[in-house]
Amino acid sequence: EDKVVQSPLSLVVHEGDTVTLNCSYEVTNFRSLLWYKQEKKAPTFLFMLTSSGIEKKSGRLSSILDKKELFSILNITATQTGDSAVYLCAVVFTGTASKLTFGTGTRLQVTL
């Protein structure tokens, strides 16, 4: 069974800290891994990763994929209170139709 596991489940940090969120997967026929940020309602797209070792970066956020060890990390540097959200990881596997399998999410709270 395809499985996506995120850790930690929740995290509280102080503004300015750097955090690393983890996503590991047990997926046959892996195609891509996606990160989303969910603040209140609609998750918003952050990154899509398909190749190992290539870092994707957007401002203070970056992510990288390791297809050999089957995991990805999402880094947030110099955290701000606006980074408080649930971060979702999803994996696309190919089969009769490509679809996303989501992890449980990591709830990040950034305090002053």
Partner 1 sequence: DGGITQSPKYLFRKEGQNVTLSCEQNLNHDAMYWYRQDPGQGLRLIYYSQIVNDFQKGDIAEGYSVSREKKESFPLTVTSAQKNPTAFYLCASSLGTGGTSNNSPLHFGNGTRLTVT
Instruction: Calculate the CA 31 to chain-centre distance.
Output: 15
Name which of 15 and 27 has its Cβ closer to partner 1. 27
User: Which member of 45, 53, 58, 112 binds partner 1 (CB under 8 A)?
Assistant: 45
| Contact positions with partner 1 (CB under 8 A) in 52-81 | none
85 binds partner 1 (CB under 8 A): no
90 binds partner 1 (CB under 8 A): yes
37 binds partner 1 (CB under 8 A): no
User: Is 63 within 8 Å of 73 (Cβ atoms)?
Assistant: yes
DSSP state of 42: S
In sequence order, which residues have a C-beta less than 8 Å from that of residue 101 and are 6 or more positions away? 2, 3, 4, 25, 27, 90, 91, 92, 93
| Binding footprint of partner 1 on the chain (CB under 8 A) | 4, 6, 9, 31-32, 34, 36, 41-45, 48, 88, 90, 92, 96-105
